[in-house]
Amino acid sequence: MLVLAVESSCDDSAAALMDGPVVLAERSRSQEEHAGHGGVVPEIASRLHLDVLPGIATAVLEEAGVDLHEVDAFAATAGPGLAGSLLVGLSWTKAAAMACRKPFLGINHLAAHLCIHYGGERAVSFPAIALLASGGHTCIFLMRSWTRIEMLGGTRDDAAGEAFDKIAKMMGLGFPGGAELDALAAQGDPDAVRLTMPLPDPATPEFSFSGLKTAVRLLLEKGTDHRDLAASFNSSVAGLLAAKTAFQARAHCARSVVAAGGVSANSALRRALEKAFPGPRPELFLPDMPMATDNAVMVGRAAASVLDSAPLAQSGYSCNAFARWDGEVLETLVV
């Protein structure tokens, strides 16, 4: 089944044509226009999506040699995310589906990140524990299947990725700063600075990063070496994320551990997870680096997981965008 998938939840405009979980063609454009503002400006983001998304989707279809009317279903991120950005992608994709009289699937952005592992060379076995760490969310989920996902805990304030970006900004690094902070950390000593982590108990599947940002700011004001501080922060956060994930994996007898979200590209976190899960059970699944951040492939694979599990009960045209998700059960399909 051919699915045209669109992602526009924040500042990445992306489209992918999928045959089930297989990528036939995909394109994306990151909005570098926000760099001078030190963060994503919602109004600018939505206008840029409006300018580039139709062209990106058209280019994907042309690359695959597929006509729009040959697409079997359409999918787009419905939320959570920036309301204006979501509306652009959702409205365009829904209109295309209606024009072609094909079904539309609104996809939960968080579930889509987890579904980047759907249909891969290695199959995820259930139950699985999933760590989702990004600029907007830091959560641990229990996955009983691709469409049965329960949240065990999340952040009480800032997300891990947000903390990385804000600390990078304090250090005068570029935006987004997570990757630059990771690179700077490679030049420092992770044991040079002692950082007290909030909610350090591995048995507590919740996180807090706002106090850690304040601690780093105070250390910067004292003249602490940026490289050592970046290395200590990188190592401390990665260790905490891995420890809490490992505890839940043991508690739920997980057969697989899944990592997703932009922070899963962080080198310290990947090393910490590989150290925590060295064996075949639970088996560790890390996303390829380009697939860790927002992309349309994950939306397409989430749609494939829904379509493979049961026939669609309705067209999906009534799906609306939503900026926040505060539930306990993560539904991949938004109706």
CATH of the domain at 311: 3.30.420.40
Query: Is 285 inside any structural domain?
Result: yes
Contacts of 63 (CB under 8 A, 6+ apart): 17, 25, 27
Claim to verify: residue 328 and residue 283 sit in the same structural domain: no
Claim to verify: residue 274 and residue 158 sit in the same structural domain: yes
Claim to verify: residue 263 and residue 129 sit in the same structural domain: yes
Claim to verify: residue 23 and residue 90 sit in the same structural domain: yes
Query: Is 18 inside any structural domain?
Result: yes
Q: Which residue has the tokens 């899963």?
A: 264
Claim to verify: residue 65 and residue 174 sit in the same structural domain: no
Claim to verify: residue 161 and residue 274 sit in the same structural domain: yes
Q: 45: alpha, beta or left, given left = phi > 0 and alpha = psi -120 to 50?
A: alpha
Claim to verify: residue 50 and residue 174 sit in the same structural domain: no
Tally of domains in the chain: 2
Claim to verify: residue 145 and residue 248 sit in the same structural domain: yes
Query: Is 248 inside any structural domain?
Result: yes
Last-in-domain residue among 269, 289, 309: 289
Q: What angle do CA 180, 186, 187 make, to 5 degrees?
A: 100
Query: Is 120 inside any structural domain?
Result: no
Looking at 11-137, which runs of residues are DSSP E strands?
Answer: 12-19, 22-30, 73-79, 104-108, 128-133
Query: Is 180 inside any structural domain?
Result: yes
Query: Is 274 inside any structural domain?
Result: yes
The answer to whether 296 touches 93, Cβ cutoff 8 Å, is no
Domain that includes residue 321, residue range: 2-114+292-334
Claim to verify: residue 153 and residue 175 sit in the same structural domain: yes
Claim to verify: residue 87 and residue 167 sit in the same structural domain: no
Claim to verify: residue 183 and residue 329 sit in the same structural domain: no
Claim to verify: residue 137 and residue 215 sit in the same structural domain: yes
Query: Is 119 inside any structural domain?
Result: no
* pLDDT tens profile 244-282: 999 999 999 999 999 999 999 999 999 999 999 998 999
Return per-residue pLDDT of the chain as tens, 335 residues.
999 999 999 888 999 999 999 999 999 998 776 666 667 788 888 999 999 999 999 999 999 999 999 999 999 999 999 999 999 999 999 999 999 999 999 999 999 999 999 999 999 999 999 999 999 999 999 999 998 999 999 999 999 999 999 999 999 998 778 999 999 999 999 999 999 999 999 999 999 999 999 999 999 999 999 999 999 999 999 999 999 999 999 999 999 999 999 999 999 999 999 999 998 999 999 999 999 999 999 999 999 999 998 777 678 999 999 999 988 899 999 97
